[in-house]
Amino acid sequence: MAPVVQIKDIHKIYDSGEVPVHAVRGVSLDIHKGEFVALMGASGSGKSTLMNMLGCLDRPTRGTYKLDGIDVSALDRNELADIRNQKLGFVFQGFNLLARTTALENVELPMLYGRTRKLSTSEIRERAHHCLEIVGLANRADHMPNQLSGGQQQRVAIARGLVNEPQVLLADEPTGNLDSKTSIEVMGVFQRLNDEGISIVMVTHELDIAHYCKRNLILRDGVVVRDEAVANRSIAAVELAKLKSAEAAAKLTASPAAH
Residue 8 lies in a domain: no
Of 130, 134, 135, 143, the C-alpha closest to 102 is: 143
Determine how many CB atoms are found less than 10 A away from the CB of residue 106. 25
Query: Could you tell me what percent of the chain has a pLDDT over 90?
Result: 71
Q: Per-residue pLDDT averaged across 109-135, rounded?
A: 86
- 24 found inside a domain: no
Looking up residue 38, the CATH number of its domain turns out to be 3.40.50.300
Coil, strand or helix at 170: strand
Domain contains 84: yes
pLDDT of res. 54: 95
User: Which tens digit of pLDDT belongs to each residue from 202-236?
Assistant: 999 899 999 999 999 999 999 999 999 998 899 98
How much of the chain is helix, strand and coil, in % rounded to 5? 40, 25, 35
Domain span including residue 130: 34-45+77-258
List pLDDT tens digits, range 10-27. 999 998 778 889 999 999
Residues 97-105, mean pLDDT to the nearest whole number? 95
Q: What is the mean pLDDT of residues 236-243?
A: 89
Mean local confidence (pLDDT), 242-256:
78
Query: Are the beta carbons of 168 and 4 closer than 8 angstroms?
Result: yes
Number of domains composing the chain: 1
pTM: predicted TM-score of the whole model, two decimal places: 0.90
